[in-house]
A and B are shown apart, each in its own frame.
Chain A
């Protein structure tokens, strides 16, 4: 069954604005990861946050994790047209596998 669910399903913003995507999950996790998928391409790992971490930064990306609410958010600051892609959260709940959410489609208009 699907573990992570992203919200919103689709997001359209202007270049320079910030984009926030949310992910909710159902079970306890070891870590949560965010991936980007450009149209017609494979997934690219963006950032991993462990269950004992609350916030992590990587360049223009900021990820938060609230294990009490079983939710995470991905913030992309000062968005660019090249950020246009689908973004997926994936949870590692043990069992040697990741479970992916349905993704958020982000469109950044220039």
Chain B
């Protein structure tokens, strides 16, 4: 009965590979987010979807493509992985865009070798 879940928890892969991270929330929220946390713990928003529609797309390389098949799921596909993509990726959700608390998943630790 985890509120926001992500898979996989750990991802180790070679440079140039393509990988996906999946996120699901069972809170009934309309809005979901992807964040990247770097090695210095700085957390930056990448994307946000509201009811399956993209509403935030920060300056992220187009190798990153989010997909929201329904409002409970938000996946992140990364093409041609680079060393600099190594980070922890967090999914989060909130009842609606912007206002109020966000609920975070446990994170996916991506290491690109």
Contact A42–B90 (Cβ < 8 Å) = yes
Min Cβ gap B110→A in Å is 14
Cα separation A98 to B105 with both chains bound (whole Å): 16
Contact A88–B43 (Cβ < 8 Å) = yes
CB < 8 Å: which of B33, B90, B101 contacts A33?
Answer: B101
Contact A98–B102 (Cβ < 8 Å) = yes
Contact with B along A74-91 (1 / 0, CB 8 A): 000000000000101000
Question: Interface range on chain B: under 10, 10 to 19, 20 to 34, or 35 or more?
Answer: 20 to 34
Interface of A is mostly: strand
A contact residues around B31 at 8 Å (CB): 96
Contact B101–A48 (Cβ < 8 Å) = yes
Listed in ascending order, the chain A residues whose CB lies under 8 Å from chain B are: 2, 30-31, 33, 35, 37, 40-45, 48, 86, 88, 92, 94-100, 102-103
A contact residues around B103 at 8 Å (CB): 45
Min Cβ gap A17→B in Å is 23
